[in-house]
Structure 1
Amino acid sequence: MSSTIFLLLATLSLLILSTLSTSISPPLYRIHSTNPSLAREEIENFLLGLGEKGMNDDLDVLAHDDMYIYLAAYPNNAPIENVSSDDQEADIAAPPTSEKSSVYHLAQFLNKEAFPVKISSQIQYLGRIGSLLNPAGLPVHHQALNGKIPDGYTSPQKMRSFFEKIALQNPDFVSWVDLGRTFATNLTSIEGRPVNALRINVQSDPAQHKPSVLFASCHHARELITPEIAIAIADVLTAGYQQGDVHISKWLKEYDIWIVPVVNVDGHEFVWSTDNMWRKNRRQLREKSAGRPAAFGVDLNRNYDLGWDSQGGSQEFESETYRGAAPFSEPETQIMKAFSERMHFAKVMDFHSSGQQVLVHYTRTKMPEIMTRFIAAEGKELAETAKYGVRSPSDDAEHQEWQIKRNTAYSFLVETGTSFQPPFPVALQEVRRVWPAVVTFLERPITLRGRVTDASGAPVPNANIVVKQVEWLAGETRNSNPSTGTYHLFLPHGEYDIEVSAQGFSGEVRKVVVSEDSQVVDFVLQSS
């Protein structure tokens, strides 16, 4: 798997940095260099040679470290003060793959000793870094509203604009979905905000009934690396598909992908406006009274129902892990529940910080030993690609654990970074570091999938699916999708008896041998 990931990452090595202040600044580029021994003077001499060949852009190297070259591009030799937004759209926005692009030639020069760069797979998510680089080569940005968040992170308003723009630019296969309105009878957050997701769903053969994949971020408001990862995934997938990247095209044709950049929308706003270390949502638990302060907030990642009643989270209002009055007491988790039960996600990756670890299986709730070992091994493979560690979750009642209970065994929490809000360049390094785990996650075949239909071919919704050799212990369910009748199972290699039943139908048992590859096994139920 590691060599495959290396090649995939090679196609994603050119990062285009558009600007916030486009009226006064040129487009910025960051190019991955696989030849760090090159001196800045060698690079500048190479560019001087290009300048004599009539390129359509003039480049200025701003910084050079062991991994990247940072540079600015001036269209048609225009001085910086004369570069307008319209000029950049006309001269630079197109993929720099032509013989007239200095960026293209420089990327080839920097990488020729290792591999050719496939520049058509551009990543454009770094535009919000800002318009300048300081002498140390670190991106700078506007000051955060509360003066405490490090420069560079994407504010809630800019984040919404980013995702809305992606949907508007790619209407054929991208949509920005209000999850509460679509799946949960118009639910909003405590303070009335929508919980949104970007859906990337390339139309393919309807008979394929694509499985769904979920990326979620920011259950905990202060963990600001995680929305940046969501932004990166969205931009890589949409830009890569538009530019014909074969790997990304395969993923988008195979999966219906959903990205929730911020689950805790109220807490995220509060982090930016008032308290950058706020973790929970903004439910008021207690009013201020004599000798006792007001209390706010439920830990959304202790509000799911796996182990909530016995072991998940704290019962104290003041605790940062206060679990809420009941499982799914909060509108944000109710939205995630309704959304997930409709979509029946086959794969789930939930980003948090910090720790640089992949969290696997349950914490204290009992799980069948065969599945504990299997999920741990799968999580270890993900972790190794990012050079992360592996551990059990912090507690029960977490989102990714509930997804194992309700929908799929292929569900993981990824603790990114070593702090909640590191300097933004460090956060971007973490985005890059975690990307191989995202690739591995998407590449992993679903071991067993299919449809449950009646004799006419119509889907049988919510059929109960039981693996005889796996005795789940905490009320876990596996059902066919209520709309399409599809199902999916992640199982270790071996032979299994799969029983499928539904009200009004005779049950069916099939013997299945699970191997490394994905296989499709359909069930046709007869009316009883």
Structure 2
Amino acid sequence: MYGYSRVPGYHFSLFRADCDLLLRKYPFVRAYAVGCSVLGKPLIALRLGEGGRPIHMNGSFHANEWITSALLMRFLDDLAGSYAAGEAGAARLYKETTLWAVPMVNPDGVDLSLFGTTGILPLDRQLLEWNGGSGRFDQWKANIRGVDLNDQFPAGWEEERLRRGVAGPGPRDYAGICPLSEPEAQAMASFTMSIPFDTVIALHTQGKEIYWNYKEYEPADAEELAARLGQASGYKPVKLTDSDAGYKDWFIKRFRRPGFTVEAGEGVNPLPYSDVPAIYAEVKPLLLEAMQWRR
């Protein structure tokens, strides 16, 4: 089963093993490296479909929200399995859409949040200092350099930096020295600019909410799609204010197309691995609705 691990979390090695398994099971799924993390781990994009409507989904922008990677991998496996079985709905989606998923945007941070420091990396002493001297990193959201990747995009970056008020690297909310200073954010921006995505969905946790707007840059039909995603999942569409520099903010501003942040599940981060089945039951119809929707 996708996502099995003796470690209570979905770490990078498990993700790589699941990618290999997915590609062996379904040769029509393709994998591409769209960039690398600070420590050189590949940012893997998985492609499914051959249609003219490209859609992007991603997970684990935030390190301790690794459960979103497991959710996306399960969705890819289900969708590919349905297509391989000859199901009519999956065949239609395969011909009409192309899904590009980057399930683990922040692999270094994910591993840090689950395993802590190793004692051998040059950054380990610095990481402990940034973490207030604690060896527990389960609340770590940032990348390995202590930068919050979802505060890194050129859409109100300066406003978000001032609002956060975090002066330097740490577990969360530090926006970096400038927009796109981090290789993971650079890779996601370059990847997004290389393909004319119709819609993007960034999976986060938690709260069972859907954020769909950015300073009136969103297209007129974004609210309608948010309502449909909410109806499919039971999640609440929310019109945000005072939030900038996120991936979906930048996508909306840059391309004027629908972009969504989905806060999956409910509880306290990191959500337990045992929540995957229940959260997936909510998220799967939302993701399918996004793929089926026509503007």
TM-score by length of 1: 0.49
* 383 and 395 in structure 1: CA distance in 2 versus 1, 3 angstrom threshold: same
> Does residue 316 of structure 1 match 2:167?
yes
For residues 181 and 2 of structure 2, the distance between their equivalents in structure 1, rounded to whole angstroms, comes to 38
* 359 and 298 in structure 1: CA distance in 2 versus 1, 3 angstrom threshold: same
> Does residue 252 of structure 1 match 2:94?
yes
* 215 and 444 in structure 1: CA distance in 2 versus 1, 3 angstrom threshold: same
Aligned position for 1:277? 139
Q: How does 1:65-214 map to 2 (within 5 A)?
A: 126-129=1-4, 142=6, 144=7, 151=8, 153-171=9-27, 173-180=28-35, 188-202=36-50, 210-214=52-56
Q: Is the 8 A contact 1:213 1:257 kept in 2?
A: yes
From 233, 249, 256, the equivalent of 1:401 is 249
From 128, 140, 152, the equivalent of 1:303 is 152
Query: CA deviation digits over 1:427-480, x for unaligned, max 9?
Result: 3201111111112111111x3xxxxxxxxxxxxxxxxxxxxxxxxxxxxxxxxx
> Does residue 390 of structure 1 match 2:272?
no
Shift, 1:390, TM fit: 2.1
Q: Is the 8 A contact 1:315 1:324 kept in 2?
A: no
Structure 1 unaligned regions, length at least 5: 1-125, 130-140, 145-150, 181-187, 205-209, 284-296, 448-528
Shift, 1:403, TM fit: 1.1
Q: Which amino acid aligns with 1:384?
A: Q
> Does residue 432 of structure 1 match 2:281?
yes
> Does residue 216 of structure 1 match 2:86?
no
For residues 212 and 398 of structure 1, the distance between their equivalents in structure 2, rounded to whole angstroms, comes to 21
Q: Which amino acid aligns with 1:218?
A: S
Report the secondary structure of 2:42's partner residue: coil
From 353, 361, 375, the equivalent of 2:222 is 375
The worse-fitting range, judged by mean Cα deviation, of 346-355 and 250-259 is 250-259
Report the secondary structure of 1:397's partner residue: coil
What CA RMSD, in Å, does the superposition of the two structures yield over aligned residues?
2.0
Query: CA deviation digits over 1:493-527, x for unaligned, max 9?
Result: xxxxxxxxxxxxxxxxxxxxxxxxxxxxxxxxxxx
Aligned position for 1:420? 269
Shift, 1:426, TM fit: 2.3
Q: Which amino acid aligns with 2:182?
A: E
Q: Is the 8 A contact 1:359 1:390 kept in 2?
A: yes
Shift, 1:408, TM fit: 4.4
Query: CA deviation digits over 1:156-179, x for unaligned, max 9?
Result: 2121111122123333x2112110
Report the secondary structure of 1:350's partner residue: strand
Query: CA deviation digits over 1:128-183, x for unaligned, max 9?
Result: 44xxxxxxxxxxx62x2xxxxxx4x4332121111122123333x21121102xxx
Shift, 1:282, TM fit: 1.0
- Structure with the greater alpha carbon radius of gyration: 1
Q: Which amino acid aligns with 2:184?
A: E
Query: CA deviation digits over 1:256-277, x for unaligned, max 9?
Result: 2111111011101111211222
* 190 and 166 in structure 1: CA distance in 2 versus 1, 3 angstrom threshold: same
From 205, 221, 241, the equivalent of 1:353 is 205
Aligned position for 1:326? 178
Q: Which amino acid aligns with 1:410?
A: P
Aligned position for 2:187? 335
Q: Which amino acid aligns with 2:24?
A: L
Q: Is the 8 A contact 1:155 1:272 kept in 2?
A: yes
Instruction: Say how many residue pairs are matched.
Output: 270
Judging by fraction of residues, say which structure has more helix.
2
For residues 128 and 256 of structure 1, the distance between their equivalents in structure 2, rounded to whole angstroms, comes to 24
Structure 2 unaligned regions, length at least 5: 117-136
For residues 158 and 412 of structure 1, the distance between their equivalents in structure 2, rounded to whole angstroms, comes to 27
Q: Which amino acid aligns with 1:253?
A: K
Shift, 1:310, TM fit: 2.7
Report the secondary structure of 1:440's partner residue: helix
Report the secondary structure of 1:376's partner residue: helix
Q: Is the 8 A contact 2:210 2:236 kept in 1?
A: yes
From 408, 426, 442, the equivalent of 2:291 is 442
Aligned position for 2:133? none
Aligned position for 1:524? none
For residues 314 and 303 of structure 1, the distance between their equivalents in structure 2, rounded to whole angstroms, comes to 14
Higher relative contact order (CA 8 A, sep 6+): 2
TM-score by length of 2: 0.85
Report the secondary structure of 2:90's partner residue: helix
Shift, 1:389, TM fit: 1.3
